[in-house]
């Protein structure tokens, strides 16, 4: 086929939905830059772009010459279309790479960076293709992580032990991983604390802050600059609240021996990563970078699984080399919406430990811990990053049926998951499978046996506004209104529909419409037009000017106005205990939020969580998605699926994001 025919074929595939238009357009762009190139370049570029759209940071080339459909992962018609043209492409990886190397659009080997749009990486019998930007981000993250892992300081072990014994007074039967996490974070410039829900990641982070304060010379304590951050506003507010609560409880435990109050005051509000780095409108650049680093000594970042590669690169670049970065997150949760699976990549050794004898000795001296023999690794098999990574293994609030189900899903044990679901202990768990989408609306309106209510308590709170008598002062009216708004927002957190997909009757859009109509039929809502009292919305774009972040959830409610005046609708957001509102006309980028994606629910928990699985979920319907959905449930969990067996199918499929971060880390210094 000629170049024009190849490009036309790629456009056809985009029209069929097997590629995105953007993917075919990238191929067209490269054909303009290098009209003489082999079709390998255009096909690879289109597939690479498609992979990026699915969250991968690179395209593994090894399967391409023989099993291209593994990459396109499309329906039968797509496989047939590929089979028709593939014989015209090289049949071996070396020939494929050779064709790419011939193009000036592809940087390879030790070639200097002259702005080539693609980068080819070859190692042994494998090869990967990158978009330049992701290659640079990956290299920059690997370099920064390695440098931070190498910057180990040697604290006074006896002093650390003294404080750790006070901070963790309870003797546990096995190793106290929380204690180890504190000890490890104290000696490094980077540490990763991972663990499932309720394993005490923030509890540990609060103790780490106390340990840092206690081991800082007294004269320097007042100058210790600590910041808290998370990828979303909601997660940031939750982190701040948990850290404050934990530090206050710790102060009571420690008495006068260590003054934590000044630290609590100094920490300030937790911010989104965008706000911390100083996001600038209409650009992907930030105010803070290597030339203008953040002014802080300790940064704790929660929900790190949501951080994508580009953001991690920007964060590491903006951190001064002397600052300590502590990443908290659940490595088994869904990876970020945008490309990369950074926390998963950083935590690859977390289960196994792979601690060196040096780390074992340090754990014994500084934390009084004997690490299990099977978690130790000989010198060259003990990567530097593993020494700075600790996995917390005991959940304090997640031991019931929801925890058991989450655990079974996480390890891919379908029989066990089924058994737990069938047991329906105290009706905490229920599965409705092979049902029509309308059943989801029933759940939203009434709840279910064992977990009644659905959105009813929120609607009741909405209807329950009793105006104060006209004699009430302005301050009294405002306070009374704020109590009501908080009650409505609090009640809304009691129930949530989480979807795997956005489109279709089982997706976010379809269910939001259906639920709003079902609630309207009960007379509890009057959704006339776009905005109505009680409309829950999710912000879909950061807007620093309005102070709202992507993922924030608020509810449209009337403002507090004097009796007799008409009150305009405002969207109310709760940040910790603090209420904020924005006029509805100023919020351009929002969507209704009765149903939301599992992705967007990360960092939130709801009393009753409903996970909705469609008939066809494609590649998105994987194990991490189900695990993340289940672990959002505080008291009740309901699975609703269009087809029986979807759960098992999803569990069989752990999502593997193509990424070279581990390889790049190993290439840096064995990190
Ligand atoms: N060692 C401990 N001793 C007593 N209580 C603990 C301990 N560790 C954690 N907890 C308690 O367990 C609960 C969960 O802890 P925490 O919120 O820190 O977990 P987490 O891993 O940050 O959870 P998530 O990220 O899922 O919200 C909290 O109430 C906390 O006080």
Q: In this predicted structure, what is the pLDDT of residue 399?
A: 74
- 225 & 262 share domain: yes
Q: What ipTM was reported for this prediction?
A: 0.98
Range from 7-11, 125-129, 180-184 that averages highest in pLDDT = 180-184
- In a shared domain, residues 101 and 202: no
Tell the residue nearest (CA) to atom 23 of ligand 1. Answer: 198
With a cut of 60, say whether residue 669 has pLDDT above it.
no
CATH of the domain at 79: 1.10.10.1020
User: Is ligand 1 within 6 A of the CB of residue 202?
Assistant: yes
Determine the atom of ligand 1 nearest the C-alpha atom of 392: 21
Binding residues: 195-202
395 Cβ below 6 A of ligand 1: no
Ligand 1 centroid–CA 102 distance in Å is: 55
Q: Is residue 151 part of a domain?
A: no
Distance, CA of 24 to CA of 11 (rounded, Å): 6
Tokens of 667: 């290439």
Residue percentage of the chain with pLDDT more than 70:
97
Where is the domain boundary, 367, 397, 427?
397
- Cα torsion angle, 601, 301, 582, 558, sign: positive
Write the pLDDT tens digit of every residue in 550-604: 889 999 999 887 766 778 899 999 887 789 999 999 998 999 999 999 999 988 8
**Could you tell me if 272 and 549 are in contact, meaning their C-beta atoms sit under 8 angstroms apart?**
yes
Residue 125 lies in a domain: yes
CB 125 within 8 A of CB 93: yes
Q: Identify whether 587 is part of a domain.
A: no
* pLDDT given at position 542: 82
User: Domain holding 288: CATH number?
Assistant: 3.40.50.300
pLDDT confidence bin for 668, thresholds 50/70/90: low
pLDDT score of 499 more than 60: yes
Q: Is residue 306 part of a domain?
A: yes
Provide the total of helices (H) and of strands (E) in the chain, helices listed first: 28, 22
Q: pLDDT tens for residues 258-295?
A: 889 888 888 888 999 999 999 877 777 899 999 999 99
pLDDT category at 443 given cuts 50, 70, 90 is very high
Q: Is 397 in the pocket of ligand 1 (CB under 6 A)?
A: yes
Asked whether residue 446 falls in the same domain as residue 388, the answer is: no
Q: Is residue 166 part of a domain?
A: no
Q: Looking at the predicted structure, is the pLDDT value of residue 670 above 70? A: no
- Supply the pLDDT for residue 320: 96
Locate 617 and state its tokens: 């979920």
Same domain (yes/no): 332, 215: yes
SS3 326: strand
Residue 671: band (very low, low, confident or very high) from pLDDT cuts 50, 70, 90: low
Q: Are residues 416 and 344 in the same domain?
A: no
Which residues face 74 on adjacent strands?
none
Does residue 389 sit in the same domain as residue 438? no
- In this structure, what token pair is assigned to residue 446? 């009434």
252: CA distance to ligand 1 center in Å?
A: 17
User: In angstroms, what CA-CA distances link 314 with 131, 140, 290, 324?
Assistant: 17, 9, 9, 16
Q: Within 34-156, where are the H helices?
A: 39-53, 69-72, 76-85, 93-101, 132-150
Whose Cα sits closest to atom 10 in ligand 1? 200
Give the pLDDT score at 71: 67
- 505 and 637 in a single domain? The answer is yes
Query: What is the band of 655 on the pLDDT scale with cuts at 50, 70, 90?
Result: confident
Q: pTM to 2 decimals?
A: 0.89
Of 87, 117, 138, the position where a domain reaches its end is 138
| Residues above pLDDT 90, as percent of the chain | 63
Same domain (yes/no): 65, 79? yes
- Tell me the CA end-to-end span of the chain in Å, nearest whole number: 46
CB 369 within 8 A of CB 180: yes
Strands 553-558, 590-592: pairing kind: unpaired
CA distance 40 to 46: 10
Are the beta carbons of 212 and 299 closer than 8 angstroms?
no
User: Do both 225 and 260 map to the same domain?
Assistant: yes
Task: Please state the φ and ψ torsions of residue 154, each to the nearest 5 degrees.
Answer: -110, 100
CB distance 634 to ligand 1 below 6 Å:
no
Q: Could you tell me if 317 and 292 are in contact, meaning their C-beta atoms sit under 8 angstroms apart?
A: no
User: 3-class SS at 384?
Assistant: helix
Where residue 617 falls among pLDDT bands split at 50, 70, 90?
Answer: low
Q: Is the pLDDT of residue 539 over 50?
A: yes
Range of the domain at 602: 401-529+593-652
Token pair belonging to 148: 């931070």
Phi/psi at 595 (5° precision): -120, 145
At residue 213, the pLDDT reads 93
Determine if ligand 1 sits within 6 Å of the CB of residue 656.
no
Over residues 545-551, mean pLDDT: 86
Q: Specify whether 463 is located in the same domain as 389.
A: no
pLDDT of residue 62: 87
Looking at the structure of the chain, the number of domains it has is 3
H-helix or E-strand spanning residue 33: helix 21-33
Q: With contact defined as beta carbons under 8 Å apart, do 62 and 127 qualify?
A: yes
Query: Which of 196, 203, 246, 303 is the pocket-test mutation for ligand 1 (most atoms within 8 Å of CB)?
Result: 203
**Average pLDDT of every residue of the chain:** 90
416 vs 659, more confident: 416
Q: What is the mean pLDDT of residues 322-335?
A: 93
Other Cβ atoms closer than 10 A to 633: 28
Instruction: Decide if 288 is inside a domain.
Output: yes
pLDDT tens per residue across span 331-356: 999 887 788 889 999 999 999 999 99
Q: Give the residue, 425 or 371, on which the prediction is more confident.
A: 371
201 lines ligand 1 (CB under 6 A): yes
What's the pLDDT tens digit per position in 452-476?
A: 889 999 999 999 988 888 788 888 9
Residue 301 lies inside a defined structural domain of this protein = yes
174-199 residue pLDDT tens: 789 999 999 999 999 999 999 998 89
* 387 lies in the same domain as 415: no
What is the rounded CA–CA span in Å between residue 346 and residue 630?
Answer: 24
> Does the C-beta of 197 come closer than 6 Å to ligand 1?
yes
238's CB contacts (< 8 A; 6+ apart) are 230, 302, 603, 604
Q: Are residues 272 and 301 in the same domain?
A: yes
Residue 504 lies in a domain: yes
d(CA 670, CA 662): 10
pLDDT (tens digit per residue) in 605-615: 999 999 999 98
Residue of 180, 200, 245, 399 to mutate, ligand 1, most atoms within 8 A of C-beta: 200
Nearest-atom number in ligand 1 for the CA of 176 is 1
Q: Whose CA is nearest to atom 2 of ligand 1?
A: 200
Nearest to 389 by CA among 155, 159, 665, 157: 665
* Ligand 1 contact, 195 CB (< 6 A): yes
């Amino acid at each position: 086929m000629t170049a024009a025919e190849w490009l036309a074929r790629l456009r056809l595939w985009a029209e069929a939905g097997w590629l995105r238009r953007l993917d075919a357009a990238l191929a067209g762009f490269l054909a303009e830059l290098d009209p003489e190139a082999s079709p390998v370049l255009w096909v690879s570029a289109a597939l690479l772009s498609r992979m990026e759209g699915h969250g991968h940071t690179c395209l593994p080339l090894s399967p391409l010459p023989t099993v291209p459909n593994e990459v396109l992962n499309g329906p039968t018609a797509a496989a047939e279309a590929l089979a028709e043209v593939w014989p015209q492409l090289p049949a071996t990886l070396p020939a494929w790479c050779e064709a790419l190397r011939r193009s000036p659009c592809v940087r390879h080997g030790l070639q200097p960076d002259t702005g080539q749009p693609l980068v080819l990486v070859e190692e042994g019998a494998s090869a990967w293709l990158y978009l330049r930007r992701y290659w640079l981000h990956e290299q920059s993250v690997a370099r920064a992580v390695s440098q931070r892992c190498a910057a180990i300081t040697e604290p006074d072990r006896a002093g650390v032990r003294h404080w750790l014994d006070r901070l963790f007074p309870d003797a546990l039967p096995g190793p106290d991983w929380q204690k180890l996490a504190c000890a490890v974070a104290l000696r490094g410039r980077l540490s990763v604390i991972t663990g499932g829900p309720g394993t005490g990641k923030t509890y540990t982070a609060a103790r780490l802050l106390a340990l840092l304060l206690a081991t800082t010379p007294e004269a320097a304590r007042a100058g210790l600059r600590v910041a808290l951050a998370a990828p979303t506003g909601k997660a940031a507010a939750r982190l701040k609240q948990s850290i404050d609560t934990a530090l206050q409880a710790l102060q009571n435990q420690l008495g006068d021996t260590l003054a934590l109050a000044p630290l609590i005051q100094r920490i300030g509000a937790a911010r989104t990563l965008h706000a911390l780095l100083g996001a600038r409108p209409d650009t992907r650049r930030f105010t803070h970078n290597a030339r203008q680093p953040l002014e802080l000594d300790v940064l704790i970042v929660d929900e790190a699984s949501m951080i994508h590669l580009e953001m991690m690169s920007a964060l590491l670049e903006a951190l001064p080399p002397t600052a300590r970065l502590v990443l908290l997150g659940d490595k088994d949760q869904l990876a970020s919406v945008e490309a990369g699976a950074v926390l998963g990549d950083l935590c690859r050794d977390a289960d196994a430990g792979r601690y060196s004898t040096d780390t074992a000795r340090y754990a014994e001296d500084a934390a009084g811990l004997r690490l299990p023999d099977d978690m130790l690794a000989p010198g060259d098999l003990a990567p530097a990053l593993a020494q700075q990574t600790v996995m917390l293994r005991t959940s304090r609030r997640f031991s019931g049926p929801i925890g058991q189900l989450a655990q079974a899903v996480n390890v891919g044990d379908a029989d066990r998951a089924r058994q737990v679901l069938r047991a329906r202990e105290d009706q905490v768990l229920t599965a409705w499978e092979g049902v029509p989408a309308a059943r989801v609306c029933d759940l939203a309106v009434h709840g279910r046996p064992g977990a009644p209510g659905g959105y009813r308590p929120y609607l009741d709170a909405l209807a329950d506004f009793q105006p104060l008598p006209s004699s009430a002062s302005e301050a009294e009216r405002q306070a009374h209104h704020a109590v009501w708004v908080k009650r409505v927002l609090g009640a809304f957190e009691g129930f949530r529909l989480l979807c795997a997909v956005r489109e279709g009757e089982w997706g976010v859009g379809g269910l939001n419409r259906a639920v709003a109509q079902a609630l309207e039929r009960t007379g509890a809502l009057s959704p006339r037009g776009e905005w109505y009292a009680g409309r829950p919305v999710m912000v879909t774009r950061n807007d620093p000017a309005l102070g709202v972040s992507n993922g924030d959830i608020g509810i449209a409610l009337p403002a507090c106005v004097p009796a007799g005046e008409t009150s305009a609708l405002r969207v109310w957001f709760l940040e910790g205990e603090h209420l904020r509102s924005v006029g509805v006309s100023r919020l351009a980028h929002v969507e209704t939020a009765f149903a939301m994606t599992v992705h967007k629910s990360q960092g939130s928990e709801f009393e009753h969580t409903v996970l909705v699985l469609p008939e066809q979920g494609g590649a998105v319907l994987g194990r991490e998605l189900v695990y993340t959905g289940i672990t959002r449930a505080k008291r009740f969990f309901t699975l609703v699926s269009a087809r029986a067996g979807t759960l098992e199918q999803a569990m069989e499929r752990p999502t593997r994001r193509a990424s070279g971060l581990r390889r790049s880390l190993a290439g840096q210094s064995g990190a």
